[in-house]
Structure formats: structure tokens, C-alpha cells
Amino acid sequence: MNYKNPDKDGYYGEFGGAFVPEMLYPNVEELQNNYLEIIESESFQREYQDLLKNYVGRATPLYFAKNLSEKYNTRIYLKREDLNHTGAHKINNAIGQVLQAKRLGKNRIIAETGAGQHGVATATACALLGLECIVYMGEVDIQRQAPNVARMKMLGAEVVPATSGSKTLKDAVNEALRDWINNPATTHYVIGSVVGPHPFPDLVARFQSIISKEIKEQLLEQTGRKNPDYVIACVGGGSNAAGAFYHFVEEKNVQLIAAEAGGFGVDSGKSAATTFLGTLGVLHGSKSLVMQTADGQVIEPHSISAGLDYPGIGPFHSNLFKENRAEFFSINDDEALQSAFQLTRIEGIIPALESAHALAVLDKKRFKKDDIIVICLSGRGDKDMETYLKHL
Ligand SMILES: Cc1ncc(COP(=O)(O)O)c(C=O)c1O
């Protein structure tokens, strides 16, 4: 499987495709027909790369975490996506998609958000590029990620609560898709992860692939080696992981590790560990692994981190799982919290709760002294302070 080029219908093996209502088809088809030509054009790349460098602050550092390395007796590098403008990897994709939407003549942007990072990133791009922005967010997430709601409002976005189901990310995606069906001509839906109908999984993976491109260059410069032994990232829908894995998938000697949200535990009935609990199904427009009942009803997920609280994963990751190309770990809420506290105390970095799931893999697997491990630190923890303080 060539993960950089899913087939023309957007399939990674048996996962992917575009399962959308007829009303939405013209929008999706317009994107399918135009996205590659737009984003590969020289003028797009000039504008996008300039913003990544001078506005977002890329390249983000690849930081050798000396204290963490000593603790685990191995060599650990952190890819500091938390240092991006707005505090997470989400801006890499949001700016790309908003630029692309402008070139398609759209003047109204909608987005869903869980942790609020994608909503903030999209609202930021819209403020910068002068487009209207509406963000759908589950009511539960509006409460637990309040600082990001305030930021979106200050940036001029309208934040619309999603009040169905578990009132979290899945429900926000449903509302955004509903809006798109009702406003097909003027609106572009900036999806925040490698989910949704083709071409979104490929489009978002391409925008996030800058993460592994930089890791390769920085690792070579710092260690003389082009490839690490392991790359570890958390998976909600899977965009930071897809970006961190992208340029390593073909390199068979690089082991890929994905950390999913175990919630209270995979057997607890309150979990979001899709590869452990999911089966083949269609969610939000693509065929992938989905947490569902025998008759196809989506099971409400749970995670302490809003960004991982999702009952599916993108087709890219479903295929990595099926092909055994990546190893998947389920990290429970309390394990993620402990890893966040540890990183804060020994490295002076407060990670996002989502990223803390990737860090927790260090306690699940034994690494050799000479191994080089790169962990994608997808975001910073400012938005999670209320949760952290409750558990200190
Ligand atoms: C900091 C951070 N990391 C990870 C994620 C999970 O998303 P994805 O799996 O698409 O990277 C989110 C989602 O909101 C996030 O805010």
C-alpha cells in the first residue's frame, strides 16, 4: 500500500471512499477534482510555505529530552508541535484548507472541533484571510475546553453547540456535515483530521506531512541518522499521527506506534480505543473501523481528552492496523494524566492531554538504550489546565 497515494476513489486497502448524501456530492466532487492541482501549484505552495514559516513559526524544534531519556534509559526526541502558533499541529491543515477554499471561491468556512484546537486554528486562518467562520462543538467540550471557546469568539468565529448524542466531537461533525448540505455553494468544510469522505483523509495527511519531513531533516542534522527506530503519536481521527508517520511508512526499519484513548479501560464501556473495539463500518463519509453495535449504531465514546473522544479513526490508520504496519496501544485516562504530570515536572513542558497519551507509551514498552524514539508532542496543555488542576 502506498500511503502517500490512496487509489483514485480514496481507498487505503479496503478503507476510505466517499459515502455522502446526494446533496453533498457536488461539493465533494468539486474538491476531488481540484485539490491536487490547487495544492501542488507553485503559487499555492509559495503562499502556504511562507505562512508556515513566518506566521505559524515552522520549523518546530525537534527537542532531545535529556531528562526523559535518562528516566527511560533510551534516546527520546520530542517533535514540538505545541510550539506552533495557536498551540497545536491543527494549524498546518487549517491554513492549507482555508487557502484552498479561497481558491475555490468559497467565502464561508465551517469546521468541527473537539479539543477546540482545530476550531481555534480555523478561526485564526479565517481572521487572517478574511473569511466568515462557524465552528460546531459538542456541549460537553464547550465546557471542558472553555479557554479555546473564548479564543474562537475573540477571533470572530461563531461557536455553535452540538447537543445530540454524547455532545462531543462525533456530534459536532454531524452538525457540520448538516450545515454543509444546506449551504453547498458558498461553503467549504475544513475537516480537522484524516477522516471524512475522500479527498479529506489524503488532503489533511498531505498538509500534516510537514511534521515527518522536518523530523527527517532535523534528525539527520542532530544525530547523523535519517530515520529513528520508533515514531509515536496519539490518534483521535489521526492527523498528527498521519503527519508524523507520512515520510516513514515506506521505511520498514522505522516502527510506528499509535496511542488511542482507552478512557476508563477498553472493557469498561467508557472508552475510545477504536482499533480494540471497532469493526468495519461507515462513519462521517468514509469506510473505516468504527465503534458500533452489531446493528450498526455508533457507540458513544469516552476519553478524558476531548480531541481523542471519537468512535472512529481515519482510513489511513485502519489500514496501518490491518496490515500490522503500526502497533496500537490503548492508554487510559489516568495513565495519560500521570504522563502529563511527569513531563511537566522533569522537562518543564505542559503537554496537551491528547499528546500525553503518546507519552504514556513509554511505560508500556521496553526500549533499548541506543534506540532513537521520536514522540509527536501534538499540542500544549493550556486548554487542559482545569482538568489537570482537578487531578493534581
Ligand atoms: C493537541 C491535539 N492532539 C491531538 C489531537 C487529535 O487529533 P488528531 O488525531 O487528528 O491528531 C487533537 C484534537 O483536537 C489535539 O487538539
Full domain range(s) for residue 30? 11-51+90-204
pLDDT digits (tens, 9 = 90+) for 54-82: 999 999 999 999 999 999 999 999 999 99
Same domain, 173 and 135: yes
Same domain, 44 and 157: yes
Does residue 269 sit within a domain? Answer: yes
CA 97 to ligand 1 centroid distance, Å: 17
pLDDT of 378: 98
Q: Nearest-CA neighbor of 212 among 178, 177, 251?
A: 251
Same domain, 366 and 238: yes
Same domain, 263 and 166: no
| Average pLDDT along the chain | 97
pLDDT over threshold 90, residue 180: yes
Q: Which helix (H) or strand (E) holds 187?
A: strand 187-190
130 burial level (CB within 10 Å; 0-12, 13-18, 19+): exposed
Same domain, 280 and 302: yes
- Across residues 152-162, what is the average pLDDT? 98
CA-242 nearest atom, ligand 1: 11
- Angle, helix 90-103 to helix 42-51, in steps of 10 degrees: 140
Task: State the amino acid at position 111 in one-letter form.
Answer: A
Does residue 343 sit within a domain? Answer: yes
Same domain, 263 and 191: no
Does residue 144 sit within a domain? Answer: yes
CA 378 to ligand 1 centroid distance, Å: 7
Q: Nearest-CA neighbor of 74 among 371, 376, 364, 374?
A: 371
- Across residues 176-194, what is the average pLDDT? 95
pLDDT of 205: 98
Task: State how far the Cα of 33 lies from the Cα of 366, in Å rounded to an integer.
Answer: 46
Ligand 1 contacts (CB < 6 A) are: 88, 114-115, 117-118, 193, 234-241, 307-308, 352, 354-355, 378-379
Choosing from 173, 204, 235, the residue where a domain stops is: 204
pLDDT confidence bin for 171, thresholds 50/70/90: very high
Q: What are phi and psi of 238, to 5 degrees?
A: 120, 20
Does residue 373 sit within a domain? Answer: yes
Task: State how far the Cα of 158 lies from the Cα of 138, in Å rounded to an integer.
Answer: 14
CA 114 to ligand 1 centroid distance, Å: 8
Q: Are residues 258 and 233 in contact, defined by beta-carbon separation less than 8 angstroms?
A: yes
* C-alpha separations of 221 from 13, 62, 120, 226 in Å: 35, 10, 33, 8
Q: How many domains does one find in the chain?
A: 2
Q: β-strand 230-234 against 372-377: which pairing, if any?
A: parallel
pLDDT of 89: 98
Choosing from 204, 219, 254, the residue where a domain stops is: 204
CA-313 nearest atom, ligand 1: 9
Same domain, 32 and 179: yes
Same domain, 16 and 104: yes
Does residue 6 sit within a domain? Answer: no
Asked if 378 is an active-site residue, the reply is yes
Asked if 90 is an active-site residue, the reply is yes
- Across residues 150-163, what is the average pLDDT? 98
Task: State how far the Cα of 75 lies from the Cα of 372, in Å rounded to an integer.
Answer: 5
Task: State the amino acid at position 169 in one-letter form.
Answer: L
Same domain, 25 and 106: yes
pLDDT over threshold 90, residue 1: no
Find the catalytic residue in 69, 79, 81, 90: 90
* Ligand 1 mutation target, pool 234, 377, 382, most atoms within 8 A of CB: 234
Does residue 1 sit within a domain? Answer: no
Does residue 2 sit within a domain? Answer: no
Maximum distance among all alpha carbons in the chain?
A: 56
Q: β-strand 279-283 against 187-190: which pairing, if any?
A: unpaired
- Across residues 270-288, what is the average pLDDT? 98
Percent share of the chain, pLDDT over 90: 99
Q: Which helix (H) or strand (E) holds 391?
A: helix 385-391
DSSP 378: -
Does residue 232 sit within a domain? Answer: yes
pLDDT digits (tens, 9 = 90+) for 327-370: 999 999 999 999 999 999 999 999 999 999 999 999 999 999 99
* Ligand 1 mutation target, pool 89, 113, 376, most atoms within 8 A of CB: 89
CA 278 to ligand 1 centroid distance, Å: 19
Q: Whose CA is nearest to atom 12 of ligand 1?
A: 307
- Number of other CB atoms surrounding residue 376 within 10 Å: 27
Same domain, 364 and 257: yes
Choosing from 204, 227, 256, the residue where a domain stops is: 204
The domain that contains 118 carries what CATH number?
Answer: 3.40.50.1100
* Ligand 1 mutation target, pool 135, 141, 354, most atoms within 8 A of CB: 354
- Across residues 261-274, what is the average pLDDT? 98
pLDDT digits (tens, 9 = 90+) for 14-56: 999 999 999 999 999 999 999 999 999 999 999 999 999 999 9
Grid coordinates given for 37: 492541482
Q: Whose CA is nearest to atom 1 of ligand 1?
A: 379
DSSP 52: I
CA 315 to ligand 1 centroid distance, Å: 16
Q: Whose CA is nearest to atom 14 of ligand 1?
A: 307
Same domain, 268 and 300: yes
Task: State how far the Cα of 347 lies from the Cα of 356, in Å rounded to an integer.
Answer: 13
pLDDT of 49: 98
CA 49 to ligand 1 centroid distance, Å: 22
Same domain, 269 and 296: yes
* C-alpha separations of 21 from 73, 182, 184, 228 in Å: 52, 12, 12, 43
Give yes or no for a cis peptide into 59 (omega within 30° of 0).
yes
pTM: 0.98
pLDDT confidence bin for 128, thresholds 50/70/90: very high
